[in-house]
């Protein structure tokens, strides 16, 4: 457990950290968030996270000005105070405090919450492992491009995966793959790398965005389009990406082996390239 959190301009003891009972983030999930990886004390893909955070705030009309210098100072202070050499930074911004009603008032003062957690990452060159997954019906709302804390459908699907001893649930909508409960999904077929286009059906993942830049350095053909459940389970390789999982190979989907249950060569190479980019900036 971390020692400190940051709430509304103050570093506070984590155990005694509090928000107001009528904070709209608590009562309505009227709130956005980001999860930023920390690797060897370095903030990973920070600019991409802040860009997405600005987008989410704008789409929900939450009036919070992003100051990169100030936020970075908060992050680095928490990393130091909590001794988070490897882990994640959790940042949440709510619309603020108001008597409970659906219609929000203008000029509310947003609530800022930041804390860290220690975490080890699945990295090539160490103990790089693949995971098992399930598929599950996508029951979420239609603005998945906004990174809101309203995650109940994701929680239901993720816990179904947990019950089946799987790492992640891959969400299916009208027979086509959207994404995971907290990850983007990629398939490889005959040197074609396919992932869902960044539209309102998925969250534009930060690791996804970073990986797109890396792919340009390879001979892989990138195709951003929807793909079917059938294409998913018949792919040569499958992997997921997220800030908490980086690039993680998928070895089974609904107990069906992918690539004979082994980590694919292309997935491994992309993971190595992404890890190198994280370490070397």
Vertex 4 angle, CA 2 and 62, to 5°: 110
- Would you give the end-to-end CA distance of the chain in angstroms? 28
**Dihedral, 112, 277, 205, 266 alpha carbons, nearest 10:** -160
| Beta carbons within 10 angstroms of residue 63's beta carbon | 13
* Strand 42-43 relative to strand 192-195, pairing: unpaired
Residue 165 pLDDT > 90, yes or no? yes
Give the catalytic positions in this structure.
147
Rounded mean pLDDT of the chain? 97
Q: Are 64 and 91 in contact (CB under 8 A)?
A: no
Give, as one character, the DSSP assignment of residue 14.
G
Of residues 148 and 281, more confidently modeled: 148
**pLDDT tens string 36-61:** 999 999 999 999 999 999 999 999 99
Residue 122 CA: distances (Å) to CA of 142, 175, 179 = 31, 30, 20
Domain residue spans of the chain: 4-118, 131-280
Cα–Cα distance, 31 to 39 (Å, whole number)? 26
**pLDDT tens string 223-252:** 999 999 999 999 999 999 999 999 999 999
Cα–Cα distance, 50 to 68 (Å, whole number)? 8
* CATH level 3 topology of 4-118: D-amino Acid Aminotransferase; Chain A, domain 1 (3.30.470)
Residue 127's pLDDT band (boundaries 50, 70, 90)? confident
**pLDDT tens string 52-90:** 999 999 999 999 999 999 999 999 999 999 999 999 999
Q: Which two tokens stand for residue 162?
A: 């947990």
Specify which residues 185 forms β-bridges with.
Answer: 240
**pLDDT tens string 190-215:** 999 999 999 999 999 999 999 999 99
Q: What is the pLDDT of residue 72?
A: 98
Of the candidate CATH numbers 3.50.50.60, 3.20.10.10, 3.40.50.300, 3.40.50.2300, the domain formed by 131-280 belongs to 3.20.10.10
Q: What is the pLDDT of residue 2?
A: 86
Q: Which two tokens stand for residue 50?
A: 């802040």
Residue 220 pLDDT > 90, yes or no? yes
Q: What is the pLDDT of residue 44?
A: 98
Cα–Cα distance, 215 to 212 (Å, whole number)? 5
Residue 134's pLDDT band (boundaries 50, 70, 90)? very high
Name the percent of the chain lying above pLDDT 70. 100
Q: What is the pLDDT of residue 154?
A: 99
Residue 126 pLDDT > 80, yes or no? no
Using left for φ > 0, alpha for ψ between -120 and 50, and beta otherwise, residue 72 falls in alpha
């Amino acid at each position: 457990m971390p020692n400190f959190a940051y709430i509304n301009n103050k570093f506070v003891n984590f155990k005694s950290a509090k928000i107001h009972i009528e904070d709209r983030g608590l009562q309505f999930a009227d709130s956005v968030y980001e999860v930023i990886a920390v690797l060897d004390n370095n903030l990973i893909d920070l600019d991409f996270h802040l860009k997405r955070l600005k987008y989410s705030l704008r789409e929900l009309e939450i009036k919070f000005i992003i100051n990169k210098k100030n936020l970075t100072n908060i992050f680095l202070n928490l990393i130091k105070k909590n001794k988070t050499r490897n882990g994640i930074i959790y940042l949440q911004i709510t619309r603020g405090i108001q008597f409970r009603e659906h219609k929000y008032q203008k000029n509310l003062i947003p609530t800022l919450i930041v804390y860290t957690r220690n975490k080890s990452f699945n990295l090539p060159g160490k103990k790089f492992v693949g995971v098992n997954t399930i598929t599950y019906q996508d029951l979420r709302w239609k603005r998945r491009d906004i990174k809101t804390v309203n995650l109940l459908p994701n929680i239901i699907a993720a816990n179904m995966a947990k019950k089946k001893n799987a790492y992640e649930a891959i969400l299916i909508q009208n027979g086509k793959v959207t994404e995971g409960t907290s990850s983007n999904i990629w398939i490889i077929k005959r040197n074609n790398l396919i992932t869902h286009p960044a539209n309102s059906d998925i969250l534009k993942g930060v690791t996804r965005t970073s990986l797109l830049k890396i792919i340009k350095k390879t001979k892989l053909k990138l195709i951003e389009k929807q793909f079917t459940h059938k294409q998913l389970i018949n792919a040569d390789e499958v992997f997921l990406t997220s800030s908490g999982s980086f690039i993680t190979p998928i070895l089974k989907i609904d107990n069906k082996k992918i690539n004979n249950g082994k980590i694919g060569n292309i997935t491994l190479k992309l993971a190595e390239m992404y890890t190198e980019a994280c370490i070397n900036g």
